[in-house]
Amino acid sequence: MENFDYGIIGGGPAGYTVGMMLARQGKTVVLFEKDKMGGTCLNKGCIPTKSFLHASDVYSQMKNMSSYGIYADNITFDFSKIIDNKNQTVEKIRKSLELAVKNSGVKIIHAEACVKDKNTVIAKDEEYSVKNIILATGSKPKEIKGLEFDGEFILSSDDILNLEELPKSILIVGSGAIGVEWARILSNFGVEVTLTEMAEHLIPLADIEVSKRIERIFKQKKIKFFLNDSIEKIEGQNITLKSQNTITAEKILVAAGRIPVCPTCECESVLGDACGEIQLAHYAIHQAKAKALGIPFNKNLVPSVIYGEPEIAWVGLREQDTDETYKKSVLPITALGKAWCDNCTDGFIKLITKDDKIYGAHIVSKEASSLIHILLTAIQNNVKVSDIQKMCFAHPTYAEGVFDLLISL
């Protein structure tokens, strides 16, 4: 029987990060992964979805370049090659990741693991003696009663990655990051997209102004959506909503989030999606850093990003979380020269401030995924607005929008 300081079950962002960090401290680590290294993020979430999204954005842009004096006739796409590119991208990253984990000193066991007791893990009929067990077993798509996945008509966020050809029409249930990103991908490729959301607005976790702007953008892009609504009846491809609106769709994507996969057993800690907290890869990575290196992070300041054009990002307090003592300030992206050069003028930067400090930031804009970290740095480190006003921001950039907004306070 081999002996290790740590046995980690699950090779996603939480598992491989904590494993590598512990190994670099001189700990002996064995990591068990029953499927593929990288977890949901690399294999069934962030990376493959962003590959599809990039391809769809490029295709959409190419069809609309005449304003730049660029003309291309009969723009088409080969979905099978888009899939191949997605698979190659994932495979390259996975191989690089697996090599990095091995080089750090972690022993990888490609097999399903079973916890026998608090110091013993079994895999491939072999027992491994470990002083500590860390579970990083991830999550799986959440099913809704009456919308059980069949992989053909009713799809999970895992299933949709396996499509070999695009449907002509689709109904997406849920408007979180998964639902909104797939609505954008499929709409860009010419699929007729309808989205239903039980809440009063799209992206219910976002600031109310962000939600309303995305609703406006979706209307412009002819992405249909129904709010305060859900599926009542399905007859073939005909779907009736509780509002009695009817939809015909070749596929249904259930984007209702994910639920933890966490076996009941004795262990030192549970990290990542399995712990049932914030199901984001960067949250899992920082949990792992906190565990292995003792580096704390503020769980209330975890940025959220939804990709596509324009990007959506936020951190900290939302307008609906505040009272009259806070100030709301908004700068339209149309105020930025760079946005006009890029033909990306739909969006805004919004700040929630009080007593010379920033408490919330909400961005709908190209490069929002990068811009949000400027504001996160300020919020987390209690940087005064008056101090940021002394900084010199480059022109023309999207980042100078942050300065323009703050100098006006």
Pair 7, 130 in one domain: yes
pLDDT the model gives residue 144 = 93
Pair 322, 394 in one domain: yes
pLDDT the model gives residue 104 = 97
pLDDT band at 363 (very low <50, low <70, confident <90, very high): very high
140-149 tens-digit pLDDT: 999 999 999 9
2-55 tens-digit pLDDT: 899 999 999 999 999 999 999 999 999 999 999 999 999 999 999 999 999 999
> Residue 72 pLDDT > 90, yes or no?
no
The residue to which tokens 């960090």 are assigned:
21
> Residue 350 pLDDT > 80, yes or no?
yes
Pair 244, 164 in one domain: yes
pLDDT the model gives residue 74 = 87
Pair 377, 314 in one domain: yes
Average pLDDT, integer, range 195-212: 98
Cis preceding-peptide flag for 396 (omega within 30 of 0): yes
pLDDT the model gives residue 256 = 93
Average pLDDT, integer, range 210-236: 97
Q: Considering 268, 293, 318, which residue would you say is the last residue of a domain?
A: 293
Spatial contact of 389 and 400, defined as CB atoms under 8 Å apart: no
**Six-digit token string for 255:** 């984007």
Pair 397, 284 in one domain: no
167-186 tens-digit pLDDT: 999 999 999 999 999 999 99
Average pLDDT, integer, range 76-91: 97
Asked if residue 40 is part of any domain, the answer here is yes
Average pLDDT, integer, range 285-292: 96
Pair 131, 44 in one domain: yes
Q: How many CA atoms lie within 13 A of 12 on its CB side?
A: 33
Alpha helices in 232-296 (DSSP H): 281-293
Percent of the chain with pLDDT over 70: 100
Pair 106, 240 in one domain: no
> Residue 364 pLDDT > 80, yes or no?
yes
Q: Does the predicted TM-score (pTM) go above 0.85? A: yes
Give 13-49 as a 3 state SS string.
Answer: HHHHHHHHHHHHCCCCEEEECCCCCCHHHHHHCHHHH
The residue to which tokens 């997209």 are assigned:
193
> Residue 265 pLDDT > 80, yes or no?
no
Torsion of CA 180, 342, 55, 209, to 10 degrees: 0
pLDDT the model gives residue 336 = 98
Asked if residue 299 is part of any domain, the answer here is no
**Total domains, the chain:** 3
Three-class secondary structure of residue 70 per DSSP = coil
Pair 17, 131 in one domain: yes
pLDDT band at 67 (very low <50, low <70, confident <90, very high): confident
Pair 9, 42 in one domain: yes
Determine the structural domain holding residue 183 and report its residue range.
Answer: 143-254
CATH number of the domain residue 151 falls in: 3.50.50.60
Spatial contact of 33 and 10, defined as CB atoms under 8 Å apart: yes
Pair 215, 271 in one domain: no
